[in-house]
Chain A
């Protein structure tokens, strides 16, 4: 073997070894989806039979000079989501009623997105040359990147509970979170809703 070949052999093997040695991680955006639920373990879900739910999903709230404006999800996406929630509640034995019919529980769905930006920069005062013509230095660089996550939140609260500050405590909270993609596809949201109810068997009423 030539000397050059032998000289290059060990570093080449080392590079291949270390490159192939890097362990894996998530490959698809769905791999990062999570569903979180929590409940009030003192609340008797078996005593509740009816619930009310709005026919719109809030995605943003603006407060301007004391005036509150809600922004809602488009019906093309909200309708199947609300239907999925209603189907799951029906399977648990709950009956959906109008809010004026004094329901045992109120279910409030909401959705939001959050964008996180990363930036980095480097610059040096000597870019453009040292004083006296001593040469040049590296040009500055600036980088920006971001990712956006979406969350779907469902809250079950009891409007009848006695509370010194007149608030309805949440008896059950479910939150689904994942990376937003550019696809107009809500199948991951619907799967998340199914999972939230699947891991909340204590909600089942008589």
Chain B
């Protein structure tokens, strides 16, 4: 008799991950601090052992308190503290390809496409400037599942969100995130 620990042929997978986000491009210039307030839910219905299709939902909050500074535009200057916030909520249809299905360590690559709601707030004095947009988004990712038991695995994913310019935000909203969490199989 041979006993071994292998993955069951999961019909579906649900991943819950904590996400740390790093802004790039225009978002990285607006807020230089990483976001430690983020989470993602990924659901995949397995078409076969290697391919899963489903959806991905997430939320990352970027925040930075800018120290007192002077902002000048033409013949006007304004000095004060700024509090900058950027909220991003991607809602994507996603596809993942698992490279070593059935093994304890299972890396995968994937792509999500859909829409991301972005809202940017710049607070100064008692006023806020609010800009929001529904960005068409492409989100490639690469990750790894490490089986814990037959029905759950430890998961690490690197995702890159590219939200194209839309609405009040005239530049692309881009950031990448490192996601750590668990995948539950059923």
Residues of A whose CB lies within 8 Å of any CB of B are 21, 23-26, 31-41, 147, 149, 177-179, 195, 199-200
Contact = CB atoms under 8 A, between A and B. Distances in A.
Interface stretch (B75-83, B95-103, B110-118, B173-181): B75-83
A186 to B, nearest CB: 18
Interface SS of B by simple majority: strand
B61 A34 contact: no
Contact of B76 (A38, A149, A177): A38
A36 B63 contact: no
A82 B79 CA distance: 21
B77 A23 contact: no
Contacts of A35: 78-80
A143 to B, nearest CB: 19
Given A33-B125, A35-B78, A36-B77, 4 more contacts: A21-B37, A25-B65, A34-B125, A36-B78
B63 A34 contact: no
B77 A21 contact: no
Interface SS of A by simple majority: mixed
A37 to B, nearest CB: 5
Contacts of A200: 77
Interface residues of B, number: 20
Contact of A34 (B37, B65, B78): B78
Contacts of B126: 32, 147, 149, 179
Interface of B: 37, 61, 63, 65, 70, 72, 74-81, 83, 85, 123-126
Contact of A38 (B61, B70, B75): B75
Contacts of A33: 80, 125
A38 B71 CA distance: 12
A179 B70 CA distance: 19
A179 B63 CA distance: 23
Contact of B123 (A21, A25, A178, A195): A25
Nearest to A20: B37
B124 A34 contact: yes
Contact of B77 (A26, A37, A41): A37
Nearest to B61: A23
A172 to B, nearest CB: 10
Contacts of A31: 81
A149 B79 CA distance: 17
Contact of A25 (B61, B72, B74, B83): B83
**Interface core residue of B65, B80, B85, B123 (most chain A CB under 10 Å):** B80
A26 B126 CA distance: 10
A142 B94 CA distance: 48
B76 A37 contact: yes
Given A34-B124, A34-B125, A24 B75 contact: no
A195 B75 contact: no
A195 B79 contact: yes
A195 B78 CA distance: 10
Contacts of A21: 37, 61
B83 A26 contact: yes
Contacts of B79: 34-36, 195, 199
Contact of A23 (B70, B74, B81, B85): B85
